[in-house]
A and B are shown apart, each in its own frame.
Chain A
Amino acid sequence: MSVKTPVLSRATGLVLGLVALGLVALLSLAVGARSIPLSTVLDVLATRDGSDSAFVVWELRIPRTLIGIAVGAALGVAGALMQALTRNPLADPGLLGINAGASAAAVLAISVLGVTDLRAFVWFAFAGAAVAGTVLYVIAGRTGASSVRLALAGAAVSAALTGFTQAVILVDQNALDQMRFWTVGALARADMATLTDVAPFLVAGLALAVLLAKPLNVLSLGDDVGRSLGAHPGRTQLLTLVAVTLLAGAATAAVGPLVFVGLVAPHMVRVFTGPDERWVVAYCAVFAPALLLLADVLGRVMAREEIDVGVVTALLGGPVFLVLLRRNKAVRA
């Protein structure tokens, strides 16, 4: 019985998380520059009646909410995978060089090629993320690199790419002006077309993540123990890197580099789930988007002008994270 209870409560927590995500999503449809009563939201969701409220909900807020959910889930899960793979609490999807790669490609597109079309921008950023992920894999070693090597190689690739990005924006003020808005990360500029562009990558990445949770669990005991239990460290590592690149690359391409969610959401949920990666991934897929959406909603009402979700997530999630950390007696060296 003592074994069964935590599983049950973890399942309950997951259901509660889904309910919370649903509520926040509704809130996200209702709140904004033009606030719409919840009853009206439900009405126009049922029948698209051509009123102004219906237009706002269907054309602006549904895409934004869906993107928030998709991106939040992707980043949270990618962060969980990354921390499991490198066995390093400082790891986040950005460590793969994904953010740096996307930023470098984005700045290249703006400054050298003069791209202004948002949709082309998405593809550049995604390509940059993918290239960075591949370079990292080649450097770290093709067959089962140690977690420390992987982490260091990621830091090295990120630093080199960031240096490039910095050099360009320091010389080209126009690029600096565009990049500073992109770097914060915002849901406001994303539209339905962006979502359909990146959706296949997100779905593929999430599916991979579900399959990888169990092998990663086994490997958390160390490569040697894992191997003797039938795991394949090299294969798991490659697939995890692919999954993280797909998830974080697509998310970053869609809304810009949101650092906080991928880094901290896994730590937050681990306080409740314990170290089992299957639960960590499931919780991240539910709670990370809830956190992101809530931050987006608050960002719309906190000040007269909207505050970007990248700023609010960290402002809101940071203190929560610190409180959880202080109350959690299980955090040991």
Chain B
Amino acid sequence: MTALRPAPVVELELPRSRARRRSLVISLCLVAAIVVVSVIALGTGAIYVAPLDVARTLLGNGSRVTNYAVLDLRLPRVLIAIAVGAALGMSGVVFQSLSRNPLGSPDIIGFNYGAATGGLLVILVIGGSPAVVSSGALVGGLVTALLVYVLAWQRGVLGMRLVLTGIGVSAILQAVNFYLIVNAGVADVARATVWLTGSLNNLGWPQLWPVVIALVVLVPALLFGVRWLEVLEMGDEVAQGLGVPVERARVYLIVTGTAACAVATAAAGPIAFVALVAPQLAKRLVRSNGAGLLPAAWMGALLVLVADFAAQRVAGGLPVGVATGALGGVYLAWLLWRKP
């Protein structure tokens, strides 16, 4: 009898290992693309630096001018773009998987709307520095996420009820946001709109470190939780049968997924669409239904990086959120159109 056992295991493992290999290849391609775009972004601007000189500067052999342009001005911004994009991509994977919904994103738990309300209250009502705006957004987002979770709780949180509760709470907050925007002076609204769109303007090394430290903690935490995701997608009963502590796993994933989104929002404002589109793009490239945390992270990073480059250099200083929606939307539309 025992001799029968290995056969199905082999059958199951074979396509899986192929998917793993493809996922690895895609990840490597994405990382390569990130490096290329980073080098171009680091070299472009008022002071042009050739790609080789960028490499030389990064290795510590730059001139004073290239050191200033590349290391002081541009590198922190590029790194923040990568970090923010990766965080949003991973957060998107977690929430799409948890809600079993391809339109899922941290919006499901109301985080972005809460963050927007928090940020808007600071900008339009209290009036504060960018750091205060970030904290306001963080507080608003986290309180909202907690509220949605508590409201959806009824002896456990079911996927569908979580989604619907998120819709209800988000709608209320969006109304509050509209009210704030309509009743404020247009100059303040203009400033708020930049923040709401999500912007990497004026970010430097001091803003990068908190993001890096947060990600150093969060990435292993998310990688640890991802093994539950695929099982939870099969349904609670199946997951329970396979020995997953369903409710605890879900709380863990919601907390880590929300934290990843919170890091990104605190750094750059609520950048739209990356969390939704990065996992979808990655999934289409890898051609698997699996969770694919890392491909989505790289895809998110690449998307924000390219979008920021386009918004900053091509469109003349627009906030990055304008281009993430446009680029990500067009790219996803193209992928969908090409493969009927």
Report the contact-size class of chain A (Cβ under 8 Å from the partner).
35 or more
Q: Does B151 contact A (CB under 8 A)?
A: yes
Shortest C-beta distance, A65 to chain B (Å), equals 22
Could you tell me the dominant secondary structure of chain A's interface residues? helix
Check if A157 sits within 8 Å of B333, measured CB to CB. Answer: yes
Q: Does B210 contact A (CB under 8 A)?
A: no
Known contacts A167-B318, A312-B175; is-contact A160 B276 (Cβ 8 Å): no
- Which of B45-53, B83-91, B260-268, B319-327 lies at the interface? B319-327
Q: Does A176 contact B (CB under 8 A)?
A: yes
Q: Does A6 contact B (CB under 8 A)?
A: no
Report the contact-size class of chain B (Cβ under 8 Å from the partner).
35 or more
In-complex Cβ contact of A314 among B171, B318, B319, B326 (8 A): B171
Known contacts A170-B319, A332-B158, A333-B235; is-contact A325 B164 (Cβ 8 Å): yes
Q: Does B168 contact A (CB under 8 A)?
A: yes
- Which of A11-19, A66-74, A136-144, A199-207 lies at the interface? A136-144
Known contacts A157-B333, A180-B182; is-contact A314 B174 (Cβ 8 Å): yes
Q: Does B186 contact A (CB under 8 A)?
A: yes
- Which of A117-125, A282-290, A316-324 lies at the interface? A316-324
Check if A139 sits within 8 Å of B169, measured CB to CB. Answer: no
- Which of A148-156, A237-245, A247-255 lies at the interface? A148-156
In-complex Cβ contact of B160 among A259, A260, A332 (8 A): A332
In-complex Cβ contact of B168 among A152, A167, A169, A321 (8 A): A321
Check if A310 sits within 8 Å of B337, measured CB to CB. Answer: no
Check if B174 sits within 8 Å of A333, measured CB to CB. Answer: no
Check if A308 sits within 8 Å of B182, measured CB to CB. Answer: yes
Q: Does A28 contact B (CB under 8 A)?
A: no
Check if A160 sits within 8 Å of B164, measured CB to CB. Answer: no
Q: Does A9 contact B (CB under 8 A)?
A: no
Q: Does A56 contact B (CB under 8 A)?
A: no
CA distance A184 to B182 in the complex (A): 8
In-complex Cβ contact of B103 among A90, A177, A321, A333 (8 A): A90
Minimal Cβ-Cβ distance residue in A for B338: A139
Check if A311 sits within 8 Å of B161, measured CB to CB. Answer: no
Shortest C-beta distance, B116 to chain A (Å), equals 14
CA distance A164 to B311 in the complex (A): 12
20 new A-B contacts, CB < 8 A, other than A166-B197, A332-B158, are A89-B163, A149-B336, A151-B103, A155-B103, A156-B329, A159-B326, A170-B190, A170-B319, A177-B186, A180-B189, A184-B182, A264-B168, A307-B179, A313-B175, A318-B171, A319-B168, A322-B151, A322-B165, A331-B160, A333-B100
- Which residues of A approach B to under 8 Å, CB–CB? 88-91, 95, 138-141, 145, 148-149, 151-153, 155-164, 166-167, 169-171, 173, 176-177, 180-181, 183-184, 259-260, 263-264, 267, 307-308, 310-315, 317-319, 321-322, 325-326, 331-333
Which 6 A-B pairs rank lowest in CB-CB distance, beginning with the nearest?
A160-B329, A163-B326, A314-B175, A159-B329, A163-B325, A318-B172
Between A and B, 9 residue pairs with Cβ closer than 8 Å are A140-B336, A170-B197, A170-B319, A181-B182, A259-B171, A264-B167, A267-B164, A313-B175, A333-B158
- Which residues of B approach A to under 8 Å, CB–CB? 100-104, 108, 151, 154, 158-161, 163-165, 167-169, 171-172, 174-176, 178-179, 181-182, 186, 189-190, 193-194, 197, 235-236, 272-273, 276-277, 280, 315, 318-319, 321-330, 332-333, 336-337, 340
